[in-house]
Amino acid sequence: MEILIGVIGLIIGSILVYFLLEKIYIKKSKNIIKEAEKQAEIIKRDKILLAKEKFLQLKNDHEKQVNQINLKLQSVKNRITQKENHLAQKLNEIKKKENESKVLRNNLQHQLNNVNKKEIKLNKALQEKVKVLESISSMSSEEAKKQLVISLKDEAKTDAMAFIKTSVEEAKLQANKEARKIILNTIQRVAAETTIENTISVFNIESDELKGRIIGREGRNIRSLEAATGVEIIVDDTPETIILSAFDSMRREIARLALQQLVTDGRIHPARIESVVKKVEKQIKEEILETGKRTIIDLGIHGLHPELIRLVGKMKYRSSYSQNLLQHSRETANLCSIMAAELKLNPSIAKRAGLLHDLGKVSDEELELPHALYGMKLAEKYNEKPEVVNAIGAHHDEIEMETLYAPIVQICDAISGARPGARRENVDSYIKRLKSLEELALSYPGVMKTYAIQAGRELRVIVGSDQISDMEAEKLSLEISKKIQDEMTYPGQIKIAVIREKRAISYAK
């Protein structure tokens, strides 16, 4: 019972405590709410103040912008007003000028009418004068006009020829010294051996007993050797000597080396001959490639296609006018390099073009194209530079020269070929060239005689003094030189001397 009473008392006490705590919490919550409301009111007032300040600031900024825009508009308006005033002033001036021009136009029209009247009078007077002159001279005005045109034309031609002669002489005086200096300097700095190759090679043997072994039974050995090499082998009474004859120097070299190996080995029979010739041909091909590589290394040329290197090496066994083609090409390359440097051009391109300019002469194919054009196609095929391609194709004037490297190659090619002893020309072709020169000059009217002298380096033309004047003689020399340049091919240059003289002859009896 006591326990029950204690529990009930405990429960009642806890209830009382709960109610007391609830009142305390309710009171505290009311206080918190009041505080929160006060703080909210304060924050609200602060935000309202900030909003008002921001509004006022934006308002001030807007007013400033509006004022600036108004100022700009006012200045624009002022400028427009000034322009309107200026245009109005200009318009008034234009109107004044229009009025003045009307007055002037009326005056000019009046003067023009007066001039037309005077012109009519003058024409009538001129016609009367012409009739009088025609009656005096017994010549119509058209005939007189034609004679005047002819006389003026002749006078103009004479003046033009005199001007051309003066201009040419002045240009020669200015350019001759510099050109001579460059060419002489180039020639002096490149010294090349001038060797003349023949169409035969001499093979020396130790004794004449070997001749029988080389000929073989019934000539089978010598026939096999000739068939394998394409070279004519001449065995005659000349002691200890065998002659190898062929136009192709490469074939002669193959035959010489093969014969040398056969004689050294001692075994000479058809099967052995074919084997040795094939071996020598392989050696020659390797030597050609090695010669091409050595040549471009010596000249300092880089990036050349392997096929072009092989063709350069092949030049060693090719001759042109009896001049070794490789020596000629090397000399031309060095001359081109020096001359290009003197003229402030690229020496490497000039040297490359000089080395390859006769590439078409050593091609493996037999074509009807000139060697310059075929060499140009080969260079283009193996991706050479356009300057090099054009210089190769134009060095004999088959195509138009597009760069300065083309005339350099042409000049250096002529210099190399014109060295004393460098080339040997066939007598028939030499005589034919001299006759062509003389016949070309004889084709002009007024020419009496022609003489090609100094090995074709000078052409003397004798004209009739009664048919050609001094001025016409100068004109004739220019025309002949131009025609020779256009129609003929020749090394170096040709001097044309036109001779006109008046002879008075009488006899004392």
Which tens digit of pLDDT belongs to each residue from 347-398? 999 999 998 888 888 877 766 778 888 889 888 888 889 999 999 988 888 8
**Dist CA 336 CA 348 (whole Å):** 9
Q: What 3 state SS string does 108-140 have?
A: HHHHHHHHHHHHHHHHHHHHHHHHHHHHHHCCC
Give me the mean pLDDT over the 193-212 stretch: 63
Give me the mean pLDDT over the 483-506 stretch: 77
| Confidence band for 502, pLDDT divided at 50, 70 and 90 | confident
Tell me: pLDDT of 423 over 60: no
The pLDDT, as a whole number, for residue 421 is 46
Tell me: pLDDT of 239 over 80: no
Tokens representing 293? 């590589």
Lowest mean pLDDT among 6-20, 183-197, 223-237: 183-197
The one-letter amino acid at 40: A
Tell me: pLDDT of 490 over 70: no
Give me the mean pLDDT over the 476-503 stretch: 80
Q: What is the maximum span of the chain, computed from C-alpha positions, in angstroms? A: 207
Cβ 446 vs Cβ 468: under 8 Å:
yes
Encode 454-478: b = buried (16+ Cβ within 10 Å), e = exposed: eebeebbbbbebeebeebbbbbbbe
Cβ 233 vs Cβ 225: under 8 Å:
yes
| Confidence band for 420, pLDDT divided at 50, 70 and 90 | very low
Cβ 437 vs Cβ 480: under 8 Å:
no
The pLDDT, as a whole number, for residue 177 is 58
Tokens representing 100? 């003045």
The pLDDT, as a whole number, for residue 219 is 78
Tell me: pLDDT of 54 over 80: yes
With a pLDDT cut of 90, the percent of the chain lying above it is 2
Which is it for the CA torsion 148, 150, 154, 157, positive or negative? positive
Q: Which residue has the higher pLDDT, 154 or 352?
A: 352
Give me the mean pLDDT over the 466-487 stretch: 85
The pLDDT, as a whole number, for residue 424 is 46
Which tens digit of pLDDT belongs to each residue from 22-36? 778 788 888 888 888
- Rounded to the nearest 5 percent, the helix, strand and coil shares of the chain are 70, 5, 20
The pLDDT, as a whole number, for residue 6 is 78
The pLDDT, as a whole number, for residue 390 is 92
**Dist CA 414 CA 332 (whole Å):** 9
**Dist CA 493 CA 302 (whole Å):** 34
**Dist CA 480 CA 440 (whole Å):** 8
Cβ 301 vs Cβ 348: under 8 Å:
yes
Cβ 257 vs Cβ 280: under 8 Å:
yes
The pLDDT, as a whole number, for residue 196 is 42
DSSP classification of residue 317: G
**Dist CA 449 CA 447 (whole Å):** 6
The one-letter amino acid at 27: K
Q: Which residue has the higher pLDDT, 75 or 194?
A: 75
**Dist CA 461 CA 226 (whole Å):** 53
Q: By C-alpha distance, which of 438, 446, 445, 487 is closest to 464?
A: 446
| Confidence band for 183, pLDDT divided at 50, 70 and 90 | low
Tell me: pLDDT of 237 over 80: no
**What ranges in 343-490 are assigned the alpha helix state H?**
347-356, 371-381, 386-394, 405-418, 427-442, 470-487
Q: Does the pTM exceed 0.75? A: no
